[in-house]
Structure 1
Amino acid sequence: MSKSILFIELNPGMESTGAKALRICKNMGILTYVVTSDKSFYDSSLGNPLNDAEKVYEHRTDLYHIIDLVEYIKKLNTTHQFRAVTSLSELYVEQAAFISKALGIKNHNYEAIKLARSKYAWRDFLRNKGYAMPKFIFIKDINGLAYVPDEIGFPCVIKPVDGAASVAVSVCDNLNELNVAYEELINYPGFGRGITLNKLAIVEEYLEGDVYSAEYVVYKHESYCLGFTDRIISGYPYFAETGAGFPAKLLNEKKSKFYIESIINIMNFDNCILHIEFIEEKNGDIQIIDLNPRLCGALIAPMIYEATGIDPIKTLIEILIGDEPNLKRTKNRYCESRYVGAQCCGKLIEVKGFQQENLKVG
């Protein structure tokens, strides 16, 4: 009987990690199924990545309908016998883990993923375990902002507790800016497919330093660091990524790995891939700023492959179906990526210079 994997949504785009995962599974002889609340959401001029799945089912996939979704997938499972249920989209990893647990699939990581998906909950958890954390407070409504000047101070960072991709994250220099940022956060229209922010926020102390991410594979309680990514972030007050470099060098790599791996262990992650963002301070200490219980996104996954020979997407699939992942490095290179952003709204009609510079558009 063929092995099968159920995906809960994808990230849009024909070159997203989810789209690539469907194609890799096909090459490995693995049947893939996708549950989405709206197949047309993925339509683009380049095609629809869901067309690479064996079959696509439509059902509400947001957390507010999780019990109905579980019952629906239990019925599908009687036919398909899913080896794994997963999502490569941060917005759906909690749903996928909850469903995996409900189906009795091992290594679902539900408790750890649920904790990591709340930017307040994991900070509070680690603080209670004795980890040093920057100052932070939970904001359930606009009245909570009044405590920020005394408890956090300025500048500070406000972010939704259940957000993704730095949406509604900004630096604020005073209470007026904080109020404006909070209004933008609670009025964010959503990510499509029925996903909206829950309007809860966290305000943190602003930290100086360079931003990195650690790319980890966890297999049978052993943590493997694929490397660190140097993140180039847009200017104040937002945190849009404009580029990255892999692998990056840290001031104290051994100490940083030990610290990160202790967090992985205490949160009880296993048989998964993690993308952990942190700031490196001038003295070499690191401060975790986000715990992402998912595969790295954007161009980082292909950069890792080009630099090391290890395909993190294929590695995740191997873990999901119960195979031992191949973590042997066959390359020793360095990769960089850049995103080009426009300063105004309009229609892109021409891109010049790629042929002359022999650059690859991707």
Structure 2
Amino acid sequence: MTPQVLLFVESNTTGSGMAALTAAQGLGKRPVLLTSRPGRYRGLAATGAGVVLCDTNSATALRAAVAAFPAGELAGITTTSEFYVTAVAELAARHGLPGNPPEAVRVSRDKAAVRRALATADLPRFAEVDTPDGIAGALAHVGLPCVVKPVDDSGSNLVRVCATEAEVRAQVSRVLARQVNVRDQPVAGRALVEQYLTGPEVSVEMFGWAGGTTCVGVTAKQLTGFPHCVEHRHLYPADLGEAGTTRVAGLARDVLAATGLRTGPSHIEARLTPAGPALVELNPRLAGGMIPELVRLVDGIDLLEQQLRTCLGEQPRLRAARAGCAGIQFLTAPRAGRLTEVAGIAAAARVPGVVEVRITAQAGDPVAPPDNAYGRLGFVIARGDDHAQVAHALDAASGQITVRLEAGHDRAS
């Protein structure tokens, strides 16, 4: 009997999470979601996926839940949540299913461990701090300005550019004071203090299969200003030219080789410094921020489907038919307040080149200028022949949108 069940250990709560469950059925598999809180997933019932309730933060509980499936019934194990990629790797290895080596995934989820694995490569200066006593030594090595972040979080959470020692001490204290992440998992309790790099930021969307790696493409990113580094616009593909793309893809391959990731998607962020591309972060997962949708619009590749193929032991289909470019503009609150309305959505959708306008925040939500990716209110996606055309459409559409707060209204930023 051909294995039919594709297990998901938790999921993204929006976007790719529910889409992956539906996509599994398109590949002829029966999706089953292992979750501790089914109620956090809007639209779960509509996917038709099976649901198994268990403590997904417990290795023992997960092993028992997976072991309950009859031998030969499991086709693969995966997740669309970065917080569960290590658990997935361990379970897949335990059951002889396709996936990355668990140790490689553990390293890739630890920003300091990734940098240690790349010790011979060109890296920003960095130091790891687990008590306030280590701050002075870290600053002596790294210098100012610097970036302080947790070694094991996602979505730009608790990432801050610090210009003074006092700012570094305050941010390290915030990182060390945190005990659990957004999924109630214990955190590492360590901060990374890293040299601040200048230059444009990009991400490299990679896929590993059968000992090789494919660079699907490179995404150009725009970030909010100091002190938080929140991505607010993506353009795909980045306009780097063949030589520039080759250089940054080479860095990505070096990162994957050093850490041991070899199967499925990865998302490598880099700064294009005057000395060349330098690593910002490695993520052993598909890109977030709707980048896979930009890739689909431009290249015709469904990256989420290819992730599922690799976890089923099938070769990903990565041949592109590239046409034009696409971009996304995230909508953010201009100030703190309680959201009453986001107006102008229909007008924004009528702007030539716009393919989607989506509001993810709801009336009544407390909002503020974002300090991480979770603070976005929605987005506009546009497609065009070149970057200038896409940027114009994004600017025009976001200019039509007004964020109304309880004490006034402002344009979306």
TM-score of the superposition, structure 2-length normalised? 0.80
Report the more deviating stretch, 304-313 or 348-357: 348-357
Task: Give ranges in structure 1 of 5+ residues lacking alignment.
Answer: none
Which letter does structure 2 place at the counterpart of 1:312? L
Find the counterpart in structure 2 of residue 9 from structure 1. 10
Find the counterpart in structure 2 of residue 326 from structure 1. 317
CA distance in 2, matches of 1:294, 1:119: 14
Please report how far the alpha carbon of residue 327 of structure 1 lies from its aligned counterpart in structure 2 after TM superposition: 1.7
The reply on whether 1:234 has 2:227 as its aligned counterpart is: no
Find the counterpart in structure 1 of residue 38 from structure 2. 39
Instruction: Assess, with a 3 A threshold, how the Cα gap between structure 1 residues 350 and 213 changes in structure 2: closer, same or farther.
Output: closer
CA distance in 1, matches of 2:105, 2:50: 27
Instruction: Assess, with a 3 A threshold, how the Cα gap between structure 1 residues 348 and 246 changes in structure 2: closer, same or farther.
Output: farther
Q: Do the aligned partners of 2:128 and 2:138 also contact (CA within 8 Å) in 1?
A: no
Find the counterpart in structure 2 of residue 112 from structure 1. 104
Instruction: Assess, with a 3 A threshold, how the Cα gap between structure 1 residues 149 and 324 changes in structure 2: closer, same or farther.
Output: closer
Q: Do the aligned partners of 2:8 and 2:79 also contact (CA within 8 Å) in 1?
A: yes
Please report how far the alpha carbon of residue 191 of structure 1 lies from its aligned counterpart in structure 2 after TM superposition: 4.3
Q: Do the aligned partners of 2:251 and 2:278 also contact (CA within 8 Å) in 1?
A: no
The correspondence of residues 185-200 of structure 1 with structure 2, limited to 5 A, is: 185-188=175-178, 190-200=180-190
CA distance in 1, matches of 2:39, 2:71: 25
Number of residue equivalences = 350
Match of 1:171 among 138, 161, 165: 161
Find the counterpart in structure 2 of residue 73 from structure 1. 66
Find the counterpart in structure 1 of residue 368 from structure 2. none
Q: SS of the counterpart of 1:361? A: strand
Q: Do the aligned partners of 1:246 and 1:334 also contact (CA within 8 Å) in 2?
A: yes
Q: Do the aligned partners of 1:31 and 1:53 also contact (CA within 8 Å) in 2?
A: no
Find the counterpart in structure 2 of residue 18 from structure 1. 17
Find the counterpart in structure 2 of residue 27 from structure 1. 26
Find the counterpart in structure 2 of residue 48 from structure 1. 43
Please report how far the alpha carbon of residue 316 of structure 1 lies from its aligned counterpart in structure 2 after TM superposition: 1.1
The reply on whether 1:60 has 2:61 as its aligned counterpart is: no
CA distance in 1, matches of 2:286, 2:320: 18
CA distance in 2, matches of 1:295, 1:53: 23
CA distance in 2, matches of 1:355, 1:257: 34
Q: Do the aligned partners of 1:233 and 1:243 also contact (CA within 8 Å) in 2?
A: yes
Please report how far the alpha carbon of residue 21 of structure 1 lies from its aligned counterpart in structure 2 after TM superposition: 1.0
Q: SS of the counterpart of 1:332? A: coil
Q: Do the aligned partners of 1:168 and 1:188 also contact (CA within 8 Å) in 2?
A: no
The reply on whether 1:155 has 2:140 as its aligned counterpart is: no
Instruction: Assess, with a 3 A threshold, how the Cα gap between structure 1 residues 307 and 223 changes in structure 2: closer, same or farther.
Output: same
Please report how far the alpha carbon of residue 328 of structure 1 lies from its aligned counterpart in structure 2 after TM superposition: 2.0
Q: Do the aligned partners of 1:5 and 1:31 also contact (CA within 8 Å) in 2?
A: yes
Which letter does structure 2 place at the counterpart of 1:172? C
Q: SS of the counterpart of 1:92? A: helix
CA distance in 2, matches of 1:140, 1:222: 36
Find the counterpart in structure 1 of residue 240 from structure 2. 250
CA distance in 1, matches of 2:65, 2:350: 53
Task: Give ranges in structure 2 of 5+ residues lacking alignment.
Answer: 359-413
Give CA deviations for 1:158-211 in whole Å, capped at 9, x if unaligned: 111111111011111112111211222234475444234332111111111111
Find the counterpart in structure 2 of residue 86 from structure 1. 78
Match of 1:354 among 348, 362, 368: 348
Match of 1:303 among 286, 289, 294: 294
Q: Do the aligned partners of 1:217 and 1:226 also contact (CA within 8 Å) in 2?
A: yes
Instruction: Assess, with a 3 A threshold, how the Cα gap between structure 1 residues 176 and 24 changes in structure 2: closer, same or farther.
Output: same
TM-score of the superposition, structure 1-length normalised? 0.91
Q: SS of the counterpart of 1:124? A: helix
Which letter does structure 1 place at the counterpart of 2:309? E
Q: SS of the counterpart of 1:330? A: coil
Which letter does structure 1 place at the counterpart of 2:351? E
The correspondence of residues 307-318 of structure 1 with structure 2, limited to 5 A, is: 307-318=298-309
CA distance in 1, matches of 2:99, 2:179: 34
Which letter does structure 2 place at the counterpart of 1:239? C
Q: Do the aligned partners of 1:157 and 1:205 also contact (CA within 8 Å) in 2?
A: yes
CA distance in 1, matches of 2:258, 2:170: 37
Q: SS of the counterpart of 2:305? A: helix
Q: SS of the counterpart of 1:104? A: coil
Please report how far the alpha carbon of residue 144 of structure 1 lies from its aligned counterpart in structure 2 after TM superposition: 1.3
Find the counterpart in structure 1 of residue 402 from structure 2. none
Q: Do the aligned partners of 2:179 and 2:189 also contact (CA within 8 Å) in 1?
A: no
The reply on whether 1:345 has 2:337 as its aligned counterpart is: yes
Q: SS of the counterpart of 2:84? A: helix
Which letter does structure 1 place at the counterpart of 2:67? K
Identical pairs, percent: 23
The correspondence of residues 205-284 of structure 1 with structure 2, limited to 5 A, is: 205-250=195-240, 252-283=244-275
Instruction: Assess, with a 3 A threshold, how the Cα gap between structure 1 residues 238 and 355 changes in structure 2: closer, same or farther.
Output: closer
Please report how far the alpha carbon of residue 355 of structure 1 lies from its aligned counterpart in structure 2 after TM superposition: 4.9
Instruction: Assess, with a 3 A threshold, how the Cα gap between structure 1 residues 350 and 288 changes in structure 2: closer, same or farther.
Output: closer
Report the more deviating stretch, 81-90 or 105-114: 105-114
